[in-house]
Structure 1
Amino acid sequence: MKKISTKIAAFILIATFICACNAVKRVPDGKHLLTKNQIIVNGKATKAENVSNQLYQKPNSTLSLGFRLRLNLYNLANLNPDSTYQAKFTNHPDKYERKSKWLSAKQVNRLGKSFWYHGIHDFLKKTGEPPVILDSTKTEKSILRLNYYYFNNGFFNVSTDYKVDTVAAKRAKIKYEISTGKPYSLDTITTSIATPVLDSLYETIKSNSVLKSGTQYKTLDFDDEKNRITTHFRNNGVYYFQPTYVNFDIDTIQKGDKANVNLIINDYSYQDKDSTRTEPFKIYKISDVNIYTDYSPNNSSSKITDSTTYKNFNLYSHEKLKYKPHAITDAIFITKGGLFADNKTVLTTRYLNNLKIFNYPTVQYEIDSRDTTYSSLIAKIYLTPRKKYSFGTSLDITHSNIQDIGIALSISETIRNVFNGAETLEASVRGNIGSSKDLANPNNQFFNVSEYGVDLKLNVPRIFMPFSTEKIIKKSMIPSTLMAIGFARQRNIGLDKENFTGAFTYNWTPKKNNTARFDLFNAQFVQNLNPQNYFNVYGSSYTALNEIGKTYNTEPTYFDDNNDLIIEKGTTGFITDVLAGNTALTSSDSDYASVKSIEERRLRLTENDFILATSYTFTKTTKTDLLDNTFYLFKTKIESAGSLLTLISNTTNQVENKNGKFELFNLEYSEYIKTEFDYIKHWDLTKEKVLAVRSFFGIAIPFGNSDYIPFSRSYFSGGSNDNRAWQPYSLGPGSSGAKDDFNEANMKIALSAEFRFKILGELKGALFADAGNIWNVYDNVTDEKSTFTGFKSLKDIALGTGFGIRYDLSFFVIRFDFGFKTYNPANDSGQKWFREYNFANSVLNFGINYPF
């Protein structure tokens, strides 16, 4: 009965929607709804986006099978809901009387502004699209734009026309017909540069010209050449040069489909009173660099009271100078005696802004009247300090792989120029409460996750070392040093932790869009506060141990009234008895190996960790801005931990403990080497369609003082930013079937592809495929299903596919993804493909922003 009623309701809903979907409902008589644009170029139809973008009118957007959803949503709306609401009472006065008896007159009027009477129609109008009415004026403009487009691409004899075809009542399509002719190509390229010094400068870059003989004429190439020449000249002292001084004489007379090009640069022209004068361009040098360290519009006319000269830089202040001179001059790339250069101006403003102690700086130039040749410039740099102290708070709603929902509050205090060297000191306190259904929660609390912490960060805008690093890391790379310490106490996976961290990090940008980071040291001490709660948290380990205990236990006090092992007394006692040989189990038994494995994992996840690591991270991207959908990002990292401590221990003849390991503060420190490679590539497929792929490989190899990788440095698989067909920590290792509660390993492969497209308005869709897994390798795990033994282990790569819905709020994207287990390596042979490909076994992921 329930299924029948559901079908009836769906049928009624669909029927109602179809009845409302009259596409020409709002098309006036005598007008036509534009249903299609057809572009024919030289007898062949084209759908090239760069061509169709020239058209002023395009049909309403469609979904699959040509259904115009947004148009029909618009047609469902009442365009004048206020009038309709009032007419209801005008035509039926008694209805207003009745409503006014149980609602006040004011409430009745306000009801007309409610969502059901007014808001829903506003939503439909905003989400929908009004019908595109064929407009002959816009069609004529489209013809002109098509002409310009092809002319600018070298088709000088292009001809265009159009036809309107009325395909049905109030519906029409337009057919554009274009005949391009043969394109013109560049033939001889010559130059006529009036100023000799510019002619010499041009010769140094002539070989890299965008304009090449034999290439097809394109107006865009001429614009690019103008900008290229201008950039070169202005970076080499030609202060007054602008792109307008570059002109081209293009001769196509009696050349067939060839064009001769003459590049023309005349002398500098300027207005002198009522007349225009010309003279050769000059190369300008910088005669002085003046830095005003406390400028503001209010004190621009005030007297300078403090000044100093440092390495040919003049620093001025209206009050006492508050900065060490080198702190500012290190950020200045405009130098006395050097040539004027735009790129040095840009680099200077970028570096000064990066100090975060000034508002965006202003750089101005003026002719130095002391130079009788009038070829010198005074550079004036105006700096407006930010407030020395600033207080900040933030409240965030968060979601992570473990935490379903969290509320985080952070309070921070920033002190700028703390040591008069443009340093920035930030102290912050943070707290977080959250909820996770994956964690042990015996009291059934909604907020079962909590954390608080304090952090202290000092940023120094240079490489902080006792010796100069300018020859290795130039100041043009905008280097900085970050020193940080922190403490956090958290209640998350049931063991509860205290986390002490410290870092000394160098950052710089070797090239544009490249970043480098070197952690001289990154220290972390993790202390588990509640290790005795292990078997309450890791239920799968307890279940396996409990089943073995019921079979082989020899001590009744280890069990409760339900014949289950008591945590912690019974679990600890039984494990001790098994490993000591006090039960019927022997080392050759599989159950003995299982108990030993359970105990090894317990020790691994409950012991305290100390990690002292050094790492280098390099990132390169071609992404230019947030709207760039054709780019790649490559990131690699190599990390080494514990080797320095082992070297010191060996050098100082430290004694190993009973496990053959060195200790620091009675704690075995971690020793490993770790490397990661991450590559992301996006392709813009036009019409708001994007193909995105990601590949990741990471491996951490323990050695020396460690037999395994600490939990905080290991890998997991699954989750909203990984393989979305599995929950976090629920995939792998290998084909083991995620038998533990929080499955991790020390090697990971991940591959993802996602096709993103627009549905309507800001609502987006996606189809995705995620492949990957984690494995144990070169550590103390011996389970064959969990370990990587070579290329044959690649058969354990899991595959998840699915679809997603996203809503773009401009500043972030809300994301829902449905993942389906397509290939599950943990299933038996013959049961791996599509056996769980249904909604019952699917995983719904919620995320903020795109996964990659």
Structure 2
Amino acid sequence: MVALSSCSVTKYVPDGKYLLNKVKLVSDDKRVHADSLKSYLRQTPNTGVFGAWKLQVNIYSLSGPDTTKRINRLLRKMGDAPEIYDSTLTIESCQQMTRALNNEGFYSAQVTYEEVYKRPKRVNVIYHIHSGEPYLLRNYRVDIEHPILRFVASDPKQSYVHSGENFSIENLDRERGLVAERMRERGYYFFEKDFISYSADSALNSRQVDVTMRLSNALQQSSDSLKDKVFSTYIVNRVFFYSIDDASSTKRPDTIFTDTIDDGRYVVAYSKRSLLRPKVMIGNCAIKPGELYNDHDVERTYELLNSLGPVRYSNISFRETAPGELTCYIVLTPNKRMTFQVEAEGTYSAGDWGVEVGAGYTHRNIFRGAEALSINAKAAYEWRQAGSNAMEFGGDIALKFPTALVPFLKAEKKQRMVTSTAIKFNYNYQLRPGEYNRTIAGAGIQYRWQGRNSRFSHTLDLVEFNYVYLPWVSASFREHFMGSTSILRYSYEDHFIMRIGYSGYNSNFRASQPLRNYRVIRYNIETAGNLLQGICAAANAKKDDDGAYLVGNIRFSQYVKADFEFTYYQIFNKSHRLVYHVQLGVGYPYGNASSLPFEKRYFAGGATGVRGWAARTLGPGTYRSQGGKIDVNNQTGDINLQLNVEYRAKLFWKIHGALFVDAGNIWTIRDYEAQPGGAFKWDSFYKEIALAYGAGLRLDFDYFVFRVDYGVKLYDPSLTGSDKWRRRPTWKNDMAFHFAINYPF
């Protein structure tokens, strides 16, 4: 680091030239946010770590002038060349920002710049934005004779243009696009926004503008045949489906294929075998023969078809085949039918290292209806500090259908969103010598549906069964964890879970605006055992010694659980961002259960929690494990709170850095004897929130991220008095390293 910082960032700045060091935008009007104009800058400085240290330029400067040497080429590839200041680009930036302000109604705007030269060979540029008073839209009217177009364009409820607002060229252009879109949704296939224009009239020195929408001169002066075409509605007479390896083929699809399936409305053409069954293609096509053309139907069809696993991508086009009629051509490019994957990873849990290997197989079109069959298997081995080593084997099978398998649900309603139904089975066997052998088997039915633009998605676990069977438990384990006072006794007895759950996802991220701040919300609620409780109560079923109902001599779980997660991404530029994260969760056992199943309880610490603690070593509350050992079984809870703030910055090449502050803990709903100090209490829980801080490195390859985080305890609620504040943290007790894949949130 010393060598990097000492290497001059101006090493490769030629004499007489300057490194663009900083750029600042200053606005004299609160109505104009300077940050909103940054996208119009034609030259920006090299990014700096934590906003100052130009590490990537330092790395570039370590290279020598001889580019034939591999090391010099590598250093230049990993670093960034210094941004040499160009005053002509600064002038262009002023012009671009002025034009942008004009488009928002600030026609008196001026953007000037100031150069502040620093030594050695550096310059800072300050842009001064003087907006002036804006022009306002006084009156807005539509002067168009065509009744449908006049009605569409005059609807104030669906308009970007309103009297009293700034005279914005951008909003007027958006209004043209909106009107054209709504016309095309009414069957006017050849209508385009360029057929609409505006005239504007402004009284002298009034800064008020009267705007009139009318047909463009080009359209008014065009031939009658073009006008008739533009203002004629079109119906779709037929829809053709084709599968082709190259969707960019210049040949017309109907000249390539000879074998067809034709029902008079839909035609499926193929050479040997169609990609999908005709019923599946038609069911995922919102374009209906005999109905008016509609832009929305085209967009919906793209979404439905591209969501199918066997379809790599699709292309939809139309051709006028008769007056007032269009023929639709849908070309599907096939995806790979089958994929195989093998993976291996190292694990670290409760102080024990291990290795896990897995293999997976997926068939995206098993029955030629876009049904996806996936089969996965895994095996794990763990070297334990105490006792014999442990092993685990398992696998799962899932069959996913590209539709909602719901009786009596009409096809039109299914096409309103992307839906799927999955039937799942899983099996897991755990062999832990000296403790227990355990088998976990499960099955379930899951529905998923997704709204437009993928911003909303929903998952409904209609029913899920899980059976936990322990054929053998050691005497010592039974004594420590299955005694009458142990909250985990139920988790290590044979038990049955029948649950229903719903989870949702929402994000306002836009791929077209990757530098725009956005948020992600996840939420989940599930419940188990209520139906079984009702049936057992009505049938006066058998109970065990604790008064719990049994189904086939097996106790079943009964609980409700809810989770909420909120993440906000504050993006400064492509290399710097702040991420805020909040996670809340509550699980409540009742009726047939005195505690949540172990697999449904929360734990704290670890790579995605409060990173000053190793996984499963924090909480609940002020609880502290005996002898300083990791107590996986008792360090669990029913309530979870987690707060995180993380600053992320690109350092160089694929390497990113992070600084973070974490807070949180877990608590139990009830006061359990085996977890003293773990119960949640309103008057003291805030004193039991653990704090940690730290730094991390990430190796970001876009398709996956490998990260290392180093966390340090700041406030430890399990200690007493002034020891809670870790002013002098020790390596052994107050620090933790975490190795993980992908970002924590």
Percent sequence identity over aligned pairs: 23
1:395 is aligned to 343
Residues 190 and 229, structure 2, Cα contact 8 Å, conserved in 1: no
1:745 is aligned to 637
- 1:710 partnered with 2:586: no
The one-letter amino acid paired with 1:457 is: A
Residues 431 and 450, structure 1, Cα contact 8 Å, conserved in 2: no
Aligned equivalent of 2:664, options 751, 772, 775: 772
- TM-fit CA distance, 1:239: 0.7
Residues 507 and 517, structure 1, Cα contact 8 Å, conserved in 2: yes
1:431 is aligned to 378
The structure with the largest strand share of the pair is 2
In our comparison, the structure showing a higher alpha carbon Rg is: 1
Residues 156 and 184, structure 1, Cα contact 8 Å, conserved in 2: yes
**152 and 487 in structure 1: CA distance in 2 versus 1, 3 angstrom threshold:** same
Give deviations 1:88-132, integer Å, cap 9, x for gaps: xxxxxxxxxxxxxxxxxxxxxxxxx6xxxx32x333323333333
Aligned equivalent of 2:13, options 23, 27, 32: 27
**351 and 441 in structure 1: CA distance in 2 versus 1, 3 angstrom threshold:** farther
**308 and 54 in structure 1: CA distance in 2 versus 1, 3 angstrom threshold:** closer
Question: When the two structures are superposed, what TM-score results if normalisation uses the length of structure 1?
Answer: 0.76
2:502 is aligned to 616
Distance 1:705 1:300 in 2: 65
The one-letter amino acid paired with 1:211 is: V
Aligned equivalent of 1:485, options 425, 428, 439: 425
Distance 2:328 2:159 in 1: 32
- 1:78 partnered with 2:64: yes
The structure with the largest helix share of the pair is 1
- TM-fit CA distance, 1:230: 2.5
Question: After superposition, where does 1:220-299 map in structure 2 within 5 Å?
Answer: 220-252=170-202, 254-266=204-216, 269=219, 277-279=226-228, 281-292=230-241, 294=243
Residues 568 and 580, structure 2, Cα contact 8 Å, conserved in 1: yes
Give deviations 1:686-726, integer Å, cap 9, x for gaps: 46433322222222222232222111111111111111111
1:309 is aligned to 263
- 1:454 partnered with 2:395: yes
**718 and 201 in structure 1: CA distance in 2 versus 1, 3 angstrom threshold:** same
Residues 710 and 735, structure 2, Cα contact 8 Å, conserved in 1: yes
1:735 is aligned to 622
2:609 is aligned to 722
2:133 is aligned to 182
Distance 1:308 1:81 in 2: 64
Aligned equivalent of 2:530, options 625, 643, 653: 643
- TM-fit CA distance, 1:43: 11
Aligned equivalent of 2:324, options 375, 396, 407: 375
Distance 1:599 1:350 in 2: 55
1:546 is aligned to none
Residues 270 and 277, structure 1, Cα contact 8 Å, conserved in 2: no
Residues 487 and 595, structure 2, Cα contact 8 Å, conserved in 1: no
Distance 2:312 2:117 in 1: 60
Q: Secondary structure, in 3 states, of the residue corresponding to 1:517?
A: strand
2:318 is aligned to 365
Question: After superposition, where does 1:674-689 map in structure 2 within 5 Å?
Answer: 674-686=561-573, 688-689=575-576
Distance 2:106 2:376 in 1: 65
Residues 429 and 452, structure 1, Cα contact 8 Å, conserved in 2: no
- The runs of 5 or more residues in structure 2 that have no matched partner are none
Comparing 505-514 with 704-713, greater Cα deviation is found at 505-514
Distance 1:697 1:125 in 2: 45
- TM-fit CA distance, 1:396: 4.4
Q: Secondary structure, in 3 states, of the residue corresponding to 1:186?
A: strand
Residues 195 and 280, structure 1, Cα contact 8 Å, conserved in 2: no
Give deviations 1:494-524, integer Å, cap 9, x for gaps: 6453221111112223565222222121111
Distance 1:21 1:323 in 2: 61
- TM-fit CA distance, 1:843: 1.4
Residues 257 and 269, structure 2, Cα contact 8 Å, conserved in 1: no
- TM-fit CA distance, 1:318: 5.3
**168 and 391 in structure 1: CA distance in 2 versus 1, 3 angstrom threshold:** closer
Residues 74 and 128, structure 1, Cα contact 8 Å, conserved in 2: yes
Distance 2:705 2:274 in 1: 46
Distance 1:77 1:780 in 2: 63
Q: Secondary structure, in 3 states, of the residue corresponding to 1:244?
A: helix
Distance 1:219 1:398 in 2: 57
Distance 1:429 1:37 in 2: 53
2:77 is aligned to 126
2:707 is aligned to 815
Give deviations 1:745-789, integer Å, cap 9, x for gaps: 222222222233344454433332222222221586575512224
The one-letter amino acid paired with 2:564 is: F
Distance 1:386 1:74 in 2: 42
The one-letter amino acid paired with 2:167 is: Y
- 1:849 partnered with 2:742: yes
2:447 is aligned to 506
The one-letter amino acid paired with 1:286 is: I
Q: Secondary structure, in 3 states, of the residue corresponding to 2:556?
A: coil
Distance 2:411 2:224 in 1: 51
- 1:522 partnered with 2:522: no
Give deviations 1:514-565, integer Å, cap 9, x for gaps: 2222212111122346521864xxxxxxxxxxxxxxxxxxxxxxxxxxxxxx
Residues 269 and 276, structure 1, Cα contact 8 Å, conserved in 2: no
- TM-fit CA distance, 1:457: 1.6
Residues 701 and 779, structure 1, Cα contact 8 Å, conserved in 2: no
The one-letter amino acid paired with 1:71 is: V
- The runs of 5 or more residues in structure 1 that have no matched partner are 1-12, 83-112, 536-571, 576-593
Residues 270 and 276, structure 1, Cα contact 8 Å, conserved in 2: no
The one-letter amino acid paired with 1:257 is: R
Distance 2:8 2:34 in 1: 30
Residues 700 and 747, structure 1, Cα contact 8 Å, conserved in 2: yes
**RCO higher in 1 or 2 (8 Å CA, sep ≥ 6)?**
2
Distance 1:287 1:178 in 2: 52
Give deviations 1:392-423, integer Å, cap 9, x for gaps: 223243657668664433131416252x6x15
Question: After superposition, where does 1:518-667 map in structure 2 within 5 Å?
Answer: 518-528=460-470, 531-532=473-474, 535=477, 600=486, 603-625=489-511, 627=514, 630-667=517-554
- TM-fit CA distance, 1:368: 3.5
The one-letter amino acid paired with 2:359 is: S
- TM-fit CA distance, 1:345: 1.0
2:685 is aligned to 793
Comparing 621-630 with 187-196, greater Cα deviation is found at 621-630
**756 and 322 in structure 1: CA distance in 2 versus 1, 3 angstrom threshold:** closer
The one-letter amino acid paired with 1:849 is: N
**193 and 758 in structure 1: CA distance in 2 versus 1, 3 angstrom threshold:** farther
Question: After superposition, where does 1:303-342 map in structure 2 within 5 Å?
Answer: 304-309=258-263, 313-315=266-268, 326-342=279-295
- TM-fit CA distance, 1:175: 5.3
**715 and 35 in structure 1: CA distance in 2 versus 1, 3 angstrom threshold:** closer
Question: When the two structures are superposed, what TM-score results if normalisation uses the length of structure 2?
Answer: 0.86
Distance 1:471 1:287 in 2: 19
Give deviations 1:777-812, integer Å, cap 9, x for gaps: 158657551222444334322222223333322222
Residues 200 and 209, structure 2, Cα contact 8 Å, conserved in 1: yes
Residues 460 and 501, structure 2, Cα contact 8 Å, conserved in 1: yes
Aligned equivalent of 2:303, options 332, 350, 361: 350
Give deviations 1:579-608, integer Å, cap 9, x for gaps: xxxxxxxxxxxxxxx998686356344323
**354 and 415 in structure 1: CA distance in 2 versus 1, 3 angstrom threshold:** closer
